[in-house]
Amino acid sequence: MLSEKTDIRQLDLEALKVWFTKNDEKAFRAKQVYEWLWKKNARNFDDMTNISKPLRDRLMQEFVIRGVEVDDEQKSRDGTIKSAFRLHDAHVVEGVLIPSSSRMTACISSQVGCSLSCKFCATGRLKRLRNLNADEIYDQVVNLRDQAHKHYDQNLTNIVYMGMGEPLLNYRNVLRSVEKITSGDGLGMAPKRITVSTAGIARLIYKLGDDEVRFNLALSLHAANDTKRNHIMPINQQNTLDALADALKYFYAKTGTRVTYEYIIFKDFNDTLQDARELAEFCRHIPCKINIIEYNPIDDGEFQQADPDKVEAFAAFLENLNLIVNVRRSRGKDIDAACGQLANKNKAVGSPHFK
């Protein structure tokens, strides 16, 4: 049975100050505890060594710290590390540490499962069980940062919200987690080092613009043709390309941030020069860059990897139109850690016993 105590990380600094004042404690103690929770990542009140023992005992009586634990860790031949993160209620999400010559990237999840059912994505086959809290998202980053230090003696350089779930359908917690990650009271990372990826929910892209977010936005596009995109991404039926284009124009006008289009290229589906022309036309709406992503097959999937010569011709066509194009090779495929493969494979989501 889960504890009835309040998770102390659900309180902001002002709420903590109120609690301390009501309990006849100095308000500055709230700042000390807050720093232990976020900057020093304490997972036990007894770790808070500059807090008196009686006060620590009182905090333990009233609050809990529900930290995220690394329950399983797999290392790919290419150095990519996939982690199964166990949450306080026994649900499991996955995150990935991706090392390269120029960066150290943490790929994190925002939901337990996903509700969007994209045909090419293993996560889309899972039922969405719940949203992650901001502290659960934050903890993934902390754990992956610690792995980067342990295995590579390097700091994280980038964070991508490209793991399990649709980040914009967990809008409040995702933005709160970004706030903590970028805060001086948290990890202090620059917002421009963070990318939030969405399958494309127009009304929430408008909201990102209204909130004038400072992080990067990536759109999982994969087809610049409504018929094809409807086939692989049911979300497109309510968020057509025209609707997304208008939302992205608004986002760019409000933030001045260039958007990245992610384009998984599938054999005999979206790999022709006509597909490239349609993508180029969509790119005319706002300044952007394009990541062409190698497809990672999933069990019983209907798609296959595009032929290398077609990928090369597709990229060259776009580059000849002066578009910024990167061809991304997949990492961590041998441990099902690559793009679209996160599905808690061989692990029962929600089960406390999967090892």
Residues with catalytic function = 94, 339
Give helix then strand counts, H and E, for the chain.
Answer: 10, 14
Bridge partners, residue 266, by sequence: 305
* Contact call for residues 352 and 90 (beta carbons, < 8 A): yes
Q: Which residues, in sequence order, are bridge partners of residue 107? A: 96, 160
Identity at 287, one-letter amino acid code: P
Amino acid at 70: V
Q: Is 191 exposed, middle or buried (0-12, 13-18, 19+ CB in 10 A)?
A: middle
**Amino acid identity for residue 138 in this structure:** Y
- Select from 62, 76, 96, 153 the least CA-distant residue to 343: 96
Q: Residue 268 and residue 49: Cα distance in Å, rounded?
A: 61
